[in-house]
Chains A and B, each alone.
Chain A
Amino acid sequence: MLNRNGNNSPFYLPQRGSKKDFSIILSNFSEKDSCRAVVFLFIWFFNFYFLSETLSAKNIHVGAHQKIRTIQSALKIISNGDSVIVEEGTYKEKSLLIDKSIILIGKNSPVLSGENKYEIMKIKADNVVVKGFIFKDTGLNFIFDNAAIKLDSVTNCTIEKNIFVNNFFGIYLSRSSRCKIIGNELSASQTKETYSGNGIHLWQCREMIIQKNKIEGHRDGIYFEFVKASTIEENKSENNLRYGLHFMFSDSCKYSGNFFKKNGAGVAVMFTRNVDMHNNRFEYNWGGAAYGLLLKDISDSRIFENDFVKNSCAIYYEGCSRVTTHNNNLTENGTAIRLMANSMDNSFSYNNFIGNSFDVTTNSTRNYNSFENNYWSEYKGYDLNKDGIGDIPHRPVKLFSIIIERNRPSLILIRSLFVELLNAAENIFPSLTPQTLIDSKPQMKRYL
């Protein structure tokens, strides 16, 4: 929790039977710890006997047993820097507009319900903190894109540790910067893409931090459009209808430690430069158009140390250039790397290709990308000089993948002895597979 001055250690004073409504004093300490106790006692004393308007910030309690029973009414009397503490209960307040820099805290997870009609909260002020609420049931509205929380043109806001259930959009940010979305849990249960909104939606934002959120059942788990220099870390996005993560036109962003599982179409990254993706895990994205990671028109980016497990297609490259893919584990995917003809100058190195049905497939007969020093579990060569590198180059593109390319139903012959014979023949006399798509330094042992 952050107060308006950015101090990380605010104090709450206990009520202790006080009849006064505003009994918690938030105070700022920038002095040493030894001073704290003294100041603390002083403030307590002050609170009991000389409650005054001179304090810079006040706390307003809202709850069924409090004088102020609605957040709406609390917002009317609040001023910049104040805190609103909302107690347990369900609040049906239609749309809340927050236009002052305040701290909004839910105690024991109060529920804010949109009654399936309304947008729940709209934030139009900077430095707002929203923490500890359950946001439920926004209405479906295709014109206004109803969201549980909508932030527009703000900076330095924090949305933390809230739970979002059954909303159209979850957290919707536009034209904002330096906000933090941390530790929220979002779930929705629509089954049709068109009736479902995004979990965390960012449009035209800068320097955002999206961290440790869990998103489930939305259309796109996390959606970025025109977002710059932001970080997405340690989020878990699964079972979303379309993409676990979807971003476009968002340069210089970083993605690390995220977990994407069983999303309708995996993760899509499009029209972007200078992206770093590392240490993410992509798994079980199954389907004709499902990708662990779909890259479309991406350049100058790095994909490293990720795990891709059991996806129909682990990484798909279309119109990509200068993307380096290294030190990833690609395990038991349908297709590990799908490389379209319009991708060039990409490099693939130090990756583990293990037990994929197809390691590399392409629709091109030429190759302008480089493969080197990868480990291929399919590799059947030998290493006579014991330098850890196979003595004959490896051709990761199988003839069978080209046959399937031309004629999808032949997939039913996968792993047939006849097909293995065809592959072996092609391997010796390449005619249909790209001649230069080879790993000249295949590793004998996988990277650990």
Chain B
Amino acid sequence: MSILLKIIRYQFHDISRSKWIIIYTSFFFLVTYGLISFSNDTSKVIISLLNVTLIIIPLVSIIFGTIYLYNNKDYIILILSQPIKRNVLYLGLYFGLTIPLALSFLLGVGVPILLFSRDLKENFEVLVFLFTAGIFQTFIFVSISFLIATLNENKILGLGLSIFCWLFFSVLYDGLLLLVINLCQDYPLEKILIGFTILNPVDLARIFVTLKLDVAALMGYTGAVFQKFFNGNLGNFISLLSLLVWLVIPLLLGIRKFFKKDF
């Protein structure tokens, strides 16, 4: 365990000095600051931030994660020739990357909100949900990217897969879902839809935040299953749990593959 913390510590040092992480943080800072100063409605700021959280974080996390693992291949070999367990190194690299990425998001968005936003308290709850979603998105997509990079030796293939994965989860999946909904209009779809939503981490995070943000609209829906899901803590609980599963499963698969892999 202590070895894991040491690896995380040095990776954290390394990444927090990288110019990319500084660009990433500044991006969040500027976007948030811009939204706050150009718009006087916090709800509008939060909606825009939700889009940023759902689009940018997965994209950056998955690309950054893939490239990171590819670029550090020789370093990984060097570390693996030391008396260290492979899964410890994998986790060390994982947390060493995700923690700075998540912090970068937290600071980039959080600091301007703390400094410049006026009706912060009113929207405190939504913001907590938004941050939770953003952090989960970071952890999930780095976890997926590590899996992709571990499975594929070919850099271009891996990167392509990563980008496709992002595109699929954030755009194509919902398109297909809408198609299914329209094709199967006559069937009771609610449970199946919730099931399908759980299969997509971006949708999950989106639902998780909209449970707070658009609760009035969601509660206007008459279906009993949705009502039960959207109202109260069931929806929160299920979506949080599924997000956690989305984080852990690719991570475990990645570790398994990493453990067996030849370098």
Q: Which residues of A are at the interface with B, using a C-beta cutoff of 8 A?
A: 286-290, 310-313, 331-335, 354-355, 357-358, 377, 403, 406-421, 445-446
Contacts and interface: CB of A to CB of B under 8 A. Distances in A.
Contacts of A377: 39, 41, 43-44
B223 A312 contact: no
Given A377-B43, A413-B178, A311 B171 contact: no
A92 B227 CA distance: 45
B171 A290 contact: no
Contact of A412 (B46, B175, B194, B219): B194
B227 to A, nearest CB: 8
A412 B226 contact: yes
B194 A288 contact: no
Contact of A288 (B185, B190, B220): B220
B214 interface: yes
A409 B223 contact: yes
B226 A446 contact: no
Nearest to A378: B44
Given A312-B216, A412-B226, A418-B178, A332 B221 contact: no
Given A377-B39, A409-B181, A334 B217 contact: yes
Contact of B218 (A313, A406, A411, A417): A411
A417 B55 contact: yes
A408 B222 contact: yes
A91 B210 CA distance: 53
Contacts of A310: 215-216
B207 A354 contact: no
A416 B193 CA distance: 14
Contacts of B213: 415
B181 A414 contact: no
B50 interface: yes
A360 to B, nearest CB: 13
B170 interface: yes
Contacts of A312: 216-217, 219-220
Contacts of B189: 409
Most chain B CB atoms below 10 A, which of A289, A357, A403, A446: A357
Interface in B210-248: 210, 213-223, 226-227
A334 B174 contact: no
Contacts of A403: 178
Contact of B174 (A331, A333, A418): A418
Contacts of A445: 40
B49 to A, nearest CB: 12
Given A407-B185, A408-B223, A334 B175 contact: no
B43 A332 contact: yes
A358 B47 CA distance: 13
B51 interface: yes
B41 A357 contact: no
Given A415-B47, A417-B55, A286 B178 contact: no
B220 A331 contact: no
A417 B221 CA distance: 21
A332 B172 CA distance: 28
A446 B40 CA distance: 8
A21 to B, nearest CB: 59
Given A407-B181, A408-B222, A446-B41, A417 B171 contact: yes
Given A354-B41, A410-B181, A446-B40, A415 B214 contact: yes
Contacts of A415: 47, 50-51, 54, 206, 210, 213-214
Most chain A CB atoms below 10 A, which of B50, B174, B217, B222: B217
Interface of B: 39-41, 43-44, 46-47, 50-51, 54-55, 170-175, 177-178, 181-182, 185, 189-190, 193-194, 197, 202-203, 206-207, 210, 213-223, 226-227
Nearest to A314: B216
A337 to B, nearest CB: 13
10 tightest A-B CB contacts, nearest first? A355-B43, A334-B217, A312-B220, A288-B222, A357-B217, A418-B174, A334-B216, A286-B219, A416-B174, A334-B220
A260 to B, nearest CB: 15
Contact of B216 (A311, A418, A420, A421): A311
Contacts of B219: 286-288, 290, 312, 334
Contacts of A412: 177, 193-194, 197, 207, 226
A413 to B, nearest CB: 5
B203 A416 contact: yes
Contacts of A287: 219-220
A417 B170 contact: yes
Nearest to A416: B174
A354 B227 CA distance: 24
A394 to B, nearest CB: 14
A408 B221 contact: yes
Contacts of A355: 41, 43-44, 46-47
B221 A288 contact: yes
A286 B44 contact: no
Contacts of B222: 288-289, 408
A363 to B, nearest CB: 15
A418 B182 contact: no
A355 B171 CA distance: 23
A406 B185 CA distance: 9
A409 B215 CA distance: 15
Most chain A CB atoms below 10 A, which of B40, B193, B214: B214
A180 B47 CA distance: 47
12 contacts: A288-B222, A290-B220, A313-B220, A331-B43, A334-B216, A335-B217, A408-B221, A409-B190, A409-B193, A411-B217, A418-B178, A446-B41
A340 B46 CA distance: 30
A335 B178 CA distance: 21
Given A415-B51, A420-B51, 12 more contacts: A286-B216, A288-B222, A334-B217, A334-B218, A355-B41, A357-B214, A377-B44, A407-B182, A409-B223, A416-B206, A418-B173, A419-B174
A358 B174 contact: no
